[in-house]
Amino acid sequence: MNNMEHKDYTRIGEKVFSGVLPNGLRIKVIEKPEFVTGYAVFATRYGGAWRRFRLDGELIDTPAGIAHFLEHKMFDMPDGENALEVLAANGANPNAFTASDVTCYYFESTESFEENLRMLLKFVSTPYFTAETVQKEQGIIGQEIMMGEDSPGNRIYYNFLKLLYSSHPIRDEIAGTVESIAGITDQTLYDCHRVFYNPINMVLIVEGPVEAEKIYDIALETVTAECGTMPEADFGPDEGTVPHERFREEAMEVSLPQFLFGSKIKPEHGDLLLKQKLTATLSLNLLLGTSSGFYNGLYKKGLLNPGFGYDTDFSCDLGTIFIEGESRDPSAVFERFREAVKDVCENGIEESYFKRIKRALYGSLIKSLEDFEGVCLSLMDGMFSGYDPMISAQCLDSVMPGDCLDFIKENLSDDRLAMSVINPVKNGDAGNV
């Protein structure tokens, strides 16, 4: 019997199998017989920003950092073994991460893939915590939090989110604070596992030299939990599109001022979200890419260097644009950016330029298919957000210069921008804190 249906994407030479277990677990598989590496990710729609949620009508609050803490502790198994070690000893390359609205457990391996997959599905489905192991993990995560505090990249990022958002939990560190994780107990971990690690709230995606039906069978045998209730996050009131605050700066041990500016955007849903994502990337490439007047002008003046970059993020019912780099004069970069936006709004986008930037983006879409992890994570995002990332190339065709113009006008105007800066510590400041 065929439990997995497939869809062909001939233009990009891909074929994706999809299926759903009776308990609600959704599965996608891409068969790649010519490769030796297989990649699998088992993910739950539960991350650092899911601190307050609604279950069966009841509102529940949990400590900051709990989703990440749970991720660390999931590797402990009842028989005393550690799943990370078991997988690694079997030649696999396992790891996990917690983002603001997902937690992902994954591995890649070249041998015993099915055995490793069973292990992945088993350990993520089996909670096992004790007061003692929870306490020990507080030491390790405490060091991880300290490391984050010393990282200028981390600091500038959260300072920026705190400018954009006044109360949405995305503004707080995913790992929490040393104080907040002190409040976590084995019982809170069990409770959160029961609510969020339930098949209806999870997805499994596999790419590699595998057979889709076989993957389905393994999941059916291994993920035996019953279908639960879909939890609902409560991220608080809608924050609109105007930043909460505009500017924030801080001093750290860095060589040059670091800047991060951008805006928040109202995210679309489903297929429209895919188009919105592509429109956003294309718009930023048009405005700020390596062949743009903005980038080249500032580069020649010594105000930008190749570390300059930009990105978008769509998660937790939010959309955010990030534009970052280092510069002797972040406010000059910011001013020039405002002029570039104004210029596009007044003069529009040249057709030939648009075509060329679209070509380059098409090239990078093709390149992204080379990376199994990237492909699987984008499929995951699509499953949780209701769109199909494999039609990106077609969808890109449908984006017109006018779409980008509208996007820029709407989302990058003066009143929408906020900027976070980290300045170098001045001589004599160090150690006086």
Partner 1 sequence: MIFSRNEIMPGVALNCLTGDKFKTSLFTVSLLSQLTREDASSDAAVVSVLSRGSSSYPDMEKLSARMEELYGSGVNPTVRKTGEIHSVGFASYFPDAKYLPSGESVTGDVISLTCEMLLNPVTRGGLLLPDYVEQEKTVLLDRIRSRINDKRTYAVSRCIEEMCAFEDYGVSSIGEEKQAESIYYTKLTKHFRKLLSESPIEIFFVGSEDPDEIACRLSESLFTLPRGNINTDIGTDVRMNSVEEAPRYTEEVLDVGQGKLSIGFRLGECMEERNVAAISLFNAIFGGTVTSKLFMNVREKLSLAYYASSFTDVAKGIMLVNSGIDSSNYEKARDEIFAQLEAVKRGEISDYEFSAARAGLSSSYRMVSDSPQSLEGFYFQRMLEGEDISPNDRIEDLMNVSKDDVVEVANSVVCDQIYFLKGTEGSDNE
Which 320-349 residues touch partner 1, going by CB under 8 A? 326
Of 108-116, 228-236, 260-268, 336-344, the segment contacting partner 1 by CB under 8 A is 108-116
Question: Distance between terminal CA atoms of the chain?
Answer: 67
Taking the C-alpha atoms of residue 267 and residue 81, their distance in angstroms, rounded to an integer, is 42
Q: Is 394 near partner 1 (CB under 8 A)? A: no
Binding mask 32-61 for partner 1 (x = CB under 8 A): --xxxx------------------------
Cβ neighbours around 22 below 10 Å, total: 9
Among 31, 71, 101, 108, binds partner 1 (CB under 8 A): 108
In terms of C-beta density within 10 A (0-12 exposed, 13-18 middle, 19 or more buried), how is residue 360 classed? middle
Q: Is 130 near partner 1 (CB under 8 A)? A: no
Give least dist CB 106 to partner 1, A. Answer: 14
Q: Is 286 near partner 1 (CB under 8 A)? A: no
In terms of C-beta density within 10 A (0-12 exposed, 13-18 middle, 19 or more buried), how is residue 329 classed? middle
Q: Nearest-CA neighbor of 312 among 359, 277, 272, 260?
A: 277
Per the DSSP assignment, residues forming a β-bridge with 65 are none
Q: Is 78 near partner 1 (CB under 8 A)? A: no
Whose Cβ is closer to partner 1: residue 141's or residue 195's?
A: 141
Give least dist CB 167 to partner 1, A. Answer: 27
Q: Where are the beta strands (DSSP E) in 75-231?
A: 93-98, 103-109, 202-208
Taking the C-alpha atoms of residue 384 and residue 200, their distance in angstroms, rounded to an integer, is 11
Q: Is 229 near partner 1 (CB under 8 A)? A: no
Of 42-50, 135-143, 198-206, 274-282, the segment contacting partner 1 by CB under 8 A is 135-143
Angle between helices 293-300 and 271-288 (to 10 degrees): 40
Whose Cβ is closer to partner 1: residue 207's or residue 313's?
A: 207
Give least dist CB 313 to partner 1, A. Answer: 21
Residues designated as active site: 71
Whose Cβ is closer to partner 1: residue 135's or residue 229's?
A: 135
Q: Is 315 near partner 1 (CB under 8 A)? A: no
